[in-house]
Each structure stands twice: as structure tokens, then as C-alpha cells.
Structure 1
């Protein structure tokens, strides 16, 4: 299945970053959607934040409906993003760099 027809979950760091890194999540989501991707954005799932556990429970449930995980810069330093990527990898989902995914659409 071509990547553009898959459901993509956006994963990246939030905690400890200004505005929980929501601007980066929203900008990448807009770019991916403009390229035709169906995107699940955890910043949209948790607009008011919440506890890490509550947010991760919502995020992981949403992740299960996706085929691809697209990672934002710094994901490897995020406990939550590392968990999302680990789950995706173990379940045989595609894991790609979000910026590479956008670049592939432009090429």
C-alpha cells in the first residue's frame, strides 16, 4: 500500500518543550494532510494536555488505528514517542521520519 494511502500517526517530543511542541505537531500535520495523508495528531487528541498516563492511553489507542508512524525531530529523547515507535515496530508498522515523508511527496 502506498504511504500516501495509509493512516499516519505523528509521534514526537512534547514534555518540557514550549507549548508542548504543539506548533511543530500542527505544522507537520498540515503538511502531511496537504500531501494527501490521513494523519492522527496527538496534539489534537489532547488539546488541553492532561496527565502523561491519560494522554498516552488516548494516544496508543489512536495509534492502533494507523499503519504508519511518522516521527518528529527529537522523538528519540521522548519517553512517550519512544514507546509509540517501539509498539509500532513490534507490530510491524512502518516507521518513517516525518520530514522524509513530506519530502517523498514533493519529489
Structure 2
């Protein structure tokens, strides 16, 4: 089973954006992925940012890839997680583009392919 870490913005969002994390975790689990959801990692009441990041990163490094929620680019924590995942050679995907699982390969939508081609042409 493919183990995917969810990364996205939390700080400054109502309910720390947990509803978006829980909804995406449920969607990806229904597709057959094992999901590590930082909104489910218990760091005790009112942890500071560094304490939460340490707990999250301990889980991230056990994953096969990272799925990025919309707005991740504006999140200090998610940008750290993204850089770490890339540096470790993990699969990096936009969560919204994941539409299935074929064996141990995530399946992405046609929209993702179009975005990648557009980015390559713009470069």
C-alpha cells in the first residue's frame, strides 16, 4: 500500500484547516492509499509550531510520497515538508489531481498532465 503524507496550510485558517485535511484524507483513503494526516497526529493541547513540525516530519519520512493541498505554497510548514519530500526523492503530487491507484502507482488526472505540459512550455 502506498503511504502518502498530506501537506497544506493550517496556521491562520479556521479550525486550523482540519476540515480540508480530513476531507482529503477520507477521499484518498477511499481510493486505496494509506494516508498520514497531520491533523490526526497527536501533539497534545496547544503545541507550538516547532513541536508540531517535529511530530509531522517524523511521520513524513516514513511515507512514499506527499500530496499537497491547495494553498500549500503560502504555508511555512508545508513548504518545509515539500522541500524535504523532494530532497528525499519522494513522490510529490497535488492532492486534487490524484484520482486512483494502480498497484503501487498513483494515478493522476488529465488536468495534472495538462498543467505539467503548460509549465514545461512556459519554461
Query: Structure 2 length normalisation: TM-score?
Result: 0.78
Q: Number of residues paired by the alignment?
A: 103
Bigger relative contact order, structure 1 or 2 (CA pairs below 8 A, ≥6 apart):
1
Matched, 1:38 2:34: yes
Task: Tell me the distance in 1 between the aligned counterparts of 2:83 and 2:109.
Answer: 28
Taking only aligned residues, the RMSD between alpha carbons, in angstroms, comes to 1.9
Which deviates more from structure 2 when the two are superposed, residues 96-105 or residues 69-78? 96-105
- Unpaired segments ≥5 residues, structure 1: none
Residue among 27, 47, 50 paired with 2:47? 50
1:25 is displaced (CA, Å) by 0.0
For the pair shown, the structure with the greater C-alpha radius of gyration is: 2
| Larger helix percent | 1
| Larger strand percent | 2
Task: Tell me the distance in 1 between the aligned counterparts of 2:46 and 2:91.
Answer: 27
- Unpaired segments ≥5 residues, structure 2: 101-106, 111-123
Query: Structure 1 length normalisation: TM-score?
Result: 0.89
Residue among 12, 16, 22 paired with 2:18? 22
